[in-house]
Amino acid sequence: MTDPPVTTREIAELLHRIRELSDNPANDPAERAEVLAHKADLLTRLAHQRANEWDCEHAHQARQLAHEARTLAAQARSITTPPQHDQTHR
């Protein structure tokens, strides 16, 4: 199954959310993680849908940016997720 094509609306919405986060840096870190994960998804989909049209370097750059966004999202999620305590040793 192929992913749906990235639309200009999706890109505009992502840019709007990024702008809101930029204008209000005190926003919830979980929201930042969500935006980064969404960015990674869009970049991955874009790289896949345009791989045959772009020269190889552009598709590679989009995939690399997606990987970096995924890594940042995972780091942000780990900061916002409270540690799980082992309940078996009480």
pTM exceeding the 0.85 threshold for the entire prediction = no
Q: Tokens for 10, please give them.
A: 């999706």
pLDDT band at residue 10, thresholds of 50, 70 and 90? very high
Q: Average pLDDT, stretch 25-53?
A: 80
Mean pLDDT (the chain) is 78
pLDDT band at residue 19, thresholds of 50, 70 and 90? very high
Give first-to-last CA distance, the chain, whole Å. 47
Share of the chain above pLDDT 70, in %: 77
Is-contact 9 42, C-beta < 8 A?
A: no
The residue type found at 86 is: D
Q: Annotate the chain with DSSP letters as a single string.
A: -PPPPP-HHHHHHHHHHHHHHHH-TTS-HHHHHHHHHHHHHHHHHHHHHHTTTS-HHHHHHHHHHHHHHHHHHHHHHHHHSPPPPP-S--
Q: Average pLDDT, stretch 12-27?
A: 87
- Alpha-carbon distance of 42 to 50, in angstroms, equals 12
pLDDT band at residue 11, thresholds of 50, 70 and 90? very high
